[in-house]
Structure 1
C-alpha cells in the first residue's frame, strides 16, 4: 500500500526513521537518570517536581525511558506492518521534543503544578497512541491494533500514576499497572520476534529442531499472565496472586524453552533476547515469593525492571539499530559487554543490594553496571543513528 507522502527525504538522518531519535534519547536518558537517582536518594541533590524521590525514579524508568523505546519500536514496525511510509522529519522532531519536555516537567523544570506536569508528560504517550492508531487504520492492518491496545492501557497507567500522586502523595495502582502492562508487552512482542528470529537463524544451518510456533499453549500462557498481573496490581499480597504469579512463571519458562534458545549461543544478538525474556519468569517467581513474605518486593520489581524490561529493550534496540542502518547483525565485544552489564546490574540490585564490596554498596554497583550498559550502546550505536544508512537491506535472521 503506497502512501501519499513523498518518498524522498533530505533532512537529518536522525529524523529519517522512528527508531533513530527515540532509541538514542532513551539510551542517553537511561545512562544519565540512574546516576541522578543515586544523588537524589543519597540527599546530594533535590528535585522540585510533583513526585516523591522514589516515585520520580520509578516513573522515569517506567514511563520516561520505556515510553521512548516503545515509540521507537512502534514507528519502526508500523511501516513494515502497513506498507506505508514512516513518520519522519518535523512530526518526529515534534514528538521527540514533547518527550523531552515531559522529562523536564516531571523533574520540576516548569514549576510544581501537578496538572501541568500531567498534561505535558501524558501528552507524549497520547500522541504516540493516536499516531499509531491512525497509521494502522490507514493501512487497514487491523490485526496489529492488538499491540496498540496495551499502549493505551500504558497511557492510562501513567495518568493514574499522576492522579494518585496528586491525591495521596504516592502511586499504589498506577505503578504496578504500568509494570504489568510493559511486562505483558514484552510477553506479546517477545513472543512474536524471538521465535521468528530464532527460526530464521537456525534454518540457515539446515534441518534441526526449530522453535515451536505460536499455539494454544502460548495463548494460555498469556492469559494466565494477564490474570496474575491483574491480581498483582489490585491485591499484591493475596494468596491467589502468589499462586497465579508462580503458575505464570512456570508456563513462561516452558514457553522460553520451546523457542530453542540453547541453540543460538553463537549469535549473541539472538542470545540476548532469550536471556532477557528469561528474566520475566524470574521476576514473576520472585514477585510471587514476595506476595507470601518469602522475598522482598523490590527483588521481583528489579528483576522485571532491570533484567526483563531493561534487558529486552536494550537487546531490541541493538538489533533494530544495526539492521535498519544497514550494519551487519553482529554484536561484537562492545555490545555483548553492554548487555552483560545489564545482566550484572539486575544481579547486583537483586542479590547484592545490602552488601558492601570494597566500599561500594550493591545499589551503587547496580547503578554503575546499568549506566555502563547504556553508555556502551550510545558510544557504539549512537554514531550509526546520526548517519545515513549504508544501503543494506536489514536481515531478519
Structure 2
C-alpha cells in the first residue's frame, strides 16, 4: 500500500518533548549549574561577564526568571492536566514553549549585542504563551484554588516587565521587579507547598502505619499561610514602604511556621522524598521571617533573599521536580541516594550564603564560593540521577503512585 504525502504520519519529536516535566526539569537543572558556575567565575575574578545588565542584576534575574521559570513551566504543564482532566499538551507545544524559554535566556546572555527592546520581547514571551495554555486547560474545570495561579503567574510576568522597563531606560523599577519576582515564586511555594507537603506526608505515613497520626491543618492558618505571602509579593512589587512590607513578610513567615509545625515533618526523616518538601518549606519560613526583619532594620536583606532564593525556591523545586520525574515515569517514589544527598546540600548552601552576608569581610568570599559549590553539586547529582528518566520511555510496568 502506497501512502500519499497528505496521509503520512507527522514525525514525532524527541522523547524529551513528550511531557513538560522532561524538558523543563532537565532545563532547570542544567541552568542551575551553568548560571551559578558563570556567577562564581565572576565573583572569584576568573572571568568578566559581557552582559548588558550588571553582573549582580544578571545573576538575580536569571535565577528568578530563568531557573525558577523553567521549574514553573514543567510543573504547570504537568499538574494542570491532572487537576482538570484536560489532554496533556502536545510535544510540539512543549517544544514551542521550551524554545521560548531558551530564547529568553539567550537574549539576556547576549543583551550587550542586542537592542534592549528585543531582549525584553524575547524574554517576556514565554510566560504569556504558557499562561494562555493554562487558562484553556483550567477552564475545563474552573476552580478558584487553581485559577489563582494565573493571577500569580501574571504577577511574575509583571515583575519581569518592570526589570526590562528599567533596562530599556524607561523607569527605575529593577529592584521592585527582582524582589517582586522572587517573592511571587515564594508565594507560589506557600500555596503549592501548603497543598502537597501535608498531603504527601499523610500518604507516606499511612502507607507505613494505617493508624499513624497524620498532619493537621487548621483553616485560619491555611488562609493566613496563603494570603500573607501573596500580599508580601504584591507589596514588594508595588514598592510599598519597607516597614509595612517587612511587617507583613514577618507575619507571613510566622503563619508558614505554624502551618509547618502541624505537618509531622519529624516523622518523615526516613523518607527523603517526603522530608525534602518539609525542608524546602522550612526555608520559606526562615526566608520570610529574615526578609521581614531585614526590612525592619534587624538583619541582612541580601542574606534573607538568598534563604528564599537558594533554600526555599531551590529546595522546594528540587524536591518537586525529582518527585514528579520519578512518579510520572512510572517508578516507585523513592529518591536515589544521590538525590537524597542533594536535598540536604541545598539548605546547607542557603545557610552558608546567609552567613556570608551576615558576616562580611574575609568570610564573605569563602562563604559565597562554598554556597555556590554546594548548589552546583546538588544539581549535578540531580541531573546524573534523573537524566535516564527524562530521556527514556516510561516503563511498561511500574508504580507511579
Question: TM-score, length-normalised on structure 2?
Answer: 0.90
**1:134-167 Cα deviation digits (max 9, x unpaired):** 2222x23344212222012111111111112222
* Structure 2 Cα separation of the partners of residues 328 and 9 of structure 1: 32
* Pair 1:181–1:83, CA change in 2 (3 A): same
Q: Could you tell me how far 1:222 is from its partner in structure 2?
A: 2.1
* Structure 2 Cα separation of the partners of residues 387 and 308 of structure 1: 30
**1:367-395 Cα deviation digits (max 9, x unpaired):** 10000111111100011100001135654
In structure 1, the residue matched to 2:86 is 84
1:346 aligned to 2:346?
A: no
Equivalences for residues 260-339 of structure 1 within 5 A: 260-339=264-343
In structure 2, the residue matched to 1:383 is 388
* Structure 2 Cα separation of the partners of residues 113 and 366 of structure 1: 34
Unpaired segments of 5 or more residues in structure 2? 1-9
Q: Could you tell me how far 1:208 is from its partner in structure 2?
A: 2.7
In structure 1, the residue matched to 2:156 is 154
Between 1:56-65 and 1:341-350, the stretch displaced more is: 341-350
> RMSD of the alignment, in Å?
2.3
Contact 1:186 1:309 in 2 (8 A): yes
Equivalences for residues 61-140 of structure 1 within 5 A: 61-108=63-110, 111-137=113-139, 139-140=140-141
* Pair 1:228–1:87, CA change in 2 (3 A): closer
**1:330-366 Cα deviation digits (max 9, x unpaired):** 1132111111221221121111454768x97111111
How many residues were matched structurally?
387
Of the three residues 251, 254, 260, the one matched with 1:256 is 260
Q: Could you tell me how far 1:277 is from its partner in structure 2?
A: 0.3
Q: Could you tell me how far 1:110 is from its partner in structure 2?
A: 8.0
Q: Could you tell me how far 1:229 is from its partner in structure 2?
A: 3.8
Unpaired segments of 5 or more residues in structure 1? 1-7
Q: Could you tell me how far 1:245 is from its partner in structure 2?
A: 2.3
Q: Could you tell me how far 1:101 is from its partner in structure 2?
A: 1.3
* Structure 2 Cα separation of the partners of residues 127 and 393 of structure 1: 33
* Structure 2 Cα separation of the partners of residues 355 and 378 of structure 1: 34
* Structure 1 Cα separation of the partners of residues 316 and 11 of structure 2: 31
Question: TM-score, length-normalised on structure 1?
Answer: 0.91
Contact 1:269 1:331 in 2 (8 A): yes
In structure 2, the residue matched to 1:192 is 195
